[in-house]
Structure 1
Amino acid sequence: MAEGTTLILCIDRDDDLGYKAGLASPVVGREACLNAASALALADPEDSDVNAIFQAVKTYDELKERGEEVEVAILTGNHMHMLEGDRKIAADLDDVIARTDAEACVLISDGAEDEYILPIVQSRLSVTSIRRVIVTQMPNLEGTYYIIKKLLDDPKISRMVLIPLGLAMLIYATAYLIGYPEGATIVVVGALGIYLLLKGLGFDEFFSYSVNSLQVALRRGKITFVSYITAILFFIVGVIIGLYSLLVYYTEEGILLYLLTFFYGGIGWFTAAGIIASVGRIIDVYMNEIEDLGRVIVLPFFISAIGIIVYGTSIYMLSLSHIEKFPYPEFNGLNVAMYAMVGGLFLAFVGVYIQSLINRWIEKKGENTAITP
């Protein structure tokens, strides 16, 4: 194909084409795109990506009639993991550019979400136009209800909305069940606050990556599968113990003390979960990817150090608040905090030292392997 080709690019960032119609990306060519649109329309006639694909084909035909060198393609991401999906779009785009010799691009999108990958496209092609396809709908109450229902049927949106609401209701009911209704609102607000904080900081992507790693570990028969499952159970117990600690040592001193009380109860379990998961990872790396051992050997030491320091700090801060029935008076709380700080720093230094020893051992082993004929 001659140079100067314009690529008519349709982006399906959440991979409805693969998730619903079972088609793999990239899809290149007019007939292939029409077949893909038909397959998606048969799988879900209400999907807006169908209209976007047809718009891409229509734009292709219009520019073709003007005598321009054009090609049309569809790129898809990942339905559940946006980070991995964006990486896939970048790799597929490189492949399409190599196949078509495209130099410019007309981006067809069905919404703002697909346009998040615009910087990825612009880093490889000159984007000369963006066309957003909006499907006209009747603006009545029935239509609004139907749209909301369709949104909640989407697994990504339902996980983001229904899970925190269900968890809040469960916590509220549990607080009443154990006879502490006045603390129910505090616990619910705190749990929702933690969820929103994790969501805002992007930890949902981390959890998605962890689930994906767990699936890979199960398929490949790695020890990390068992260690991750154990770590998840320990983490759940830590959350429960932390919430129970929040109820037992409830005080009206502010949200900082709520968090410290929660971590006072659960940090031991959280630390144990991190250590178990990292030890399983170390075992698998040692057995399969020993050259990366130095990178992961330090994890249990750092996790232990952070856990000890957080535990000591929470004890000291709570002891200053003179909470009734708290087991550490102010003087003892300061001692615990000092010991925890020293112990945590010592563990961190030990981890770094062991890491340096492991790196030297691996480097020496590599040199001996290279010398041996």
Structure 2
Amino acid sequence: MGFIRTLVLNIDRDDDIGFKASIDSPLIGRLACLDAAVRLALADPEDSDVNAIFQAVSTYDKLIADGEEAEVAVIGGNHFRFIEGDRKVARLLDEVVTQTGCNQCILVTDGGEDEYILPIIQGKITVSSIQRVIVSQMPNLEGTYYILKKLISDPKISKIVLVLPGLTLMLYAISYAVNRPEIATMVIAGCVGGYLLYKGFSLDEVVRSELIDLKSTLYRGRFSFVTYIGGLIFAIIGVMEGTSALTSYWDGSGIFPMAIIFLWGAVAWFTLAAITTSLGSIIDSFLYERESLSRAVIFSYFISAIGVLAFGGMSYTLSNLNLSQFPITQDLGITYIIQGAIGGLVCAFVGIILQHSISVWAQKKEESITFL
């Protein structure tokens, strides 16, 4: 049997130790982890990550008491952007494994989002055990009242529990005051449906991430701030053009034609907005983060390919619906879809070739810098 050295690992995926307690990770060693737990507890005594870190230290102490070779570490991700945070965790875990010389891992988690990164950990080190830390609550009525009170006071939950019912009641009151109760029903159904789609497709995370990026680019003086604003303006124009196309060509034939007409009128501007935004990312990547330049470049080409394909496909679809006053005939629709398919494939192919060339160039540039 080979030498075994165990890493007791706690992953703080949303980086509460960094966001709330201003602690940089990774933290390696018993004293460093205890200090982080105490500082996080002082910053937010109700954070479950505090208990998870203490549990990791406790597990480490038990292993040492049993005569095993062990080390304890805490790694934080990213508080706002989980994709970048997961990449950070993978990178830091490599450093921890190299520094500690551990070959197996006991993962300590509070049972929340941290477990989503289990495959990342398993790709770096063997996971021999998982410990879930569940904080005990008072089983009586007072404890239940306290939990409900905390849930309602949580801004994330109160927006659902309080805001939506409040708006519903206000809409019904206003609609009955003007003797049009059906207006409230339509608006509420539309708002609830839109909210469910908004949450179901995780658009809230996308919007939050984009707002954080926009603020960050402004503070750091990045060129992409200007292109973000330009992209937003183009997107607004796209909504206006889509609405204009809808009022001009929709004959009330159904929801599907209505949606296709709106997208047909807006897709060119939406594509231009995405390309404008990616242009800023390309410039900033070239100036500051050349390792991400290839991803920024191929994004713009793929967006162009999707826009061309979408316009051709929607033009062909609408030309076959016999809409009144629609300017594209069936023959012209066939031409558009063929041109869209060819144009989309060409854009995607050029983007892939260019991404490969940039990746090779960036790698050679990095190797030359390392050699010097």
- CA–CA distance in structure 1, aligned partners of residues 292 and 84 of structure 2: 22
**Which residue number corresponds to residue 340 of structure 1?**
336
| Residue of structure 2 in register with 1:102 after alignment | 102
Q: In the TM superposition, what are the counterparts of 1:45-56 in structure 2 within 5 Å?
A: 45-56=45-56
C-alpha change, 1:358 and 1:81, in structure 2 (3 Å) is closer
Of 185, 189, 198, 1:195 maps to 198
User: TM-score scaled by structure 1?
Assistant: 0.72
Residue equivalent to 1:310: 310
Q: d(CA) in 2 for partners of 1:94 and 1:356?
A: 30
TM normalised by structure 2 equals 0.72
| 1:189–1:43 distance in 2 versus 1, CA, 3 Å | closer
Paired residues of 1:315 and 1:328 also in contact (CA < 8 A): no
For 2:216 and 2:310, how far apart are their aligned partners in 1? 32
- The 1-side partners of 2:56 and 2:108 are apart by 6
Alignment partners' CA distance in 2, 1:292 and 1:116: 24
The change in CA–CA distance for 1:292 and 1:336 in structure 2 (over 3 A counts) is farther
Q: Map 1:355-366 onto structure 2 (within 5 A).
A: none
Code of the residue aligned with 1:253 in structure 2: it is: G
Alpha-carbon distance change, 286 to 47 in structure 1, aligned in 2, over 3 angstroms: closer
Amino acid at match of 1:44: D
CA contact (8 A) 1:224 1:284 kept: yes
Secondary structure of the 2:104 match is strand
Contact 1:301 / 1:347 at 8 angstroms: preserved in 2? no
Letter in 2 for 1:153: P
Identity level (%): 40
Shift in Å, 1:228:
2.5
Give the distance between the partners of 1:111 and 1:292, measured in 2 at CA.
33
Structure 2 residue runs of 5 or longer lacking an equivalent are 363-367
Q: Which amino acid aligns with 1:143?
A: Y
CA distance in 1, matches of 2:354, 2:303: 19
Tell me if the contact between 1:14 and 1:78 (Cα under 8 Å) persists in the aligned partners: yes
AA at the equivalent of 1:19: F
Q: How does 1:256-271 map to 2 (within 5 A)?
A: 256-271=256-271
Which whole-Å CA distance do the structure 1 matches of 2:92 and 2:335 have between them? 54
1:226 matched residue in structure 2: 226
Please state how far the C-alpha of 1:29 moved relative to its aligned partner.
1.0
Q: Which residue of 1 aligns with 2:146?
A: 143
**Cα offsets for 1:292-345 (capped at 9, x unmatched):** 99987787676556435433543443454455xx4317xx43244234234435
Q: Say whether the 8 Å CA contact 2:313–2:340 is kept in structure 1.
A: no
Residue segments in structure 1 that go unaligned for 5+ positions in a row = none
Superposition pairs of residues 273-288 of structure 1, within 5 angstroms: 273-280=273-280
Change (3 A) 1:343 1:297: farther
Residue pair 1:33, 1:74 contacting (<8 A) in 2 also: yes
Query: What RMSD, in angstroms, separates the aligned Cα atoms of the two structures?
Result: 4.6
**Shift of residue 153 of structure 1?**
3.2
Q: Aligned partners of 2:291 and 2:20: how far apart in 1?
A: 40
What code does the residue aligned with 2:135 have?
V
Equivalent residues of 1:319, 1:333 under 8 A apart: yes
Confirm or deny: 8 A CA contact 1:302 1:347 kept in the other structure.
no
Match of 2:57 in 1: 57
